[in-house]
Amino acid sequence: MKDVKMATLPKCDECKTNDAMYDAPACKYGRSWGYWCETCAKKVDADLLPASKLVQHTPAEAKGGKPKLAKELSDMEAVVMDGEREVECPDCGCIRRVEPDADYEFDCEDCGIRLKCASIM
């Protein structure tokens, strides 16, 4: 299970009142995904949950400066097969999901340093 950091937690797609705690498929076939609160998640097949746990997180203040190269955690096969790519901050170890073809700069959400995501394509 992966933690997904969000500045503001969304409301549950099922009850529309509670803060969501999970991002997971709505059925065993995985065709539809949604945000689920703890109560509504118990109504779903236990094998489906949790795909990702939502965690409220206030990003660190950006420090700017010359960007450091983010450490690549994904190999080309994983990017092509799963469509997911992850990079890691070399200073604090914060992991961020990026687009498969990402080649841009961003601020680390945990420590605020400027990072460069190199293209692997």
Please list, in sequence order, all residues whose beta carbon lies within 8 angstroms of the beta carbon of residue 46, skipping any fewer than 6 positions away.
none
Residue 89 falls inside a structural domain: yes
Same domain, 68 and 33: no
The boundaries of the domain holding residue 68 are 64-116
Which of the two residues, 108 and 7, has the higher pLDDT score?
Answer: 108
Q: What is the pLDDT of residue 50?
A: 60
Residue 121 falls inside a structural domain: no
**Is a pLDDT exceeding 80 seen at residue 26?**
no
Structural domains of the chain, count:
2
Q: What is the pLDDT of residue 76?
A: 87
Same domain, 22 and 52: yes
Model confidence pLDDT, tens digit, residues 92-117: 999 888 888 888 999 998 999 999 99
Same domain, 20 and 51: yes
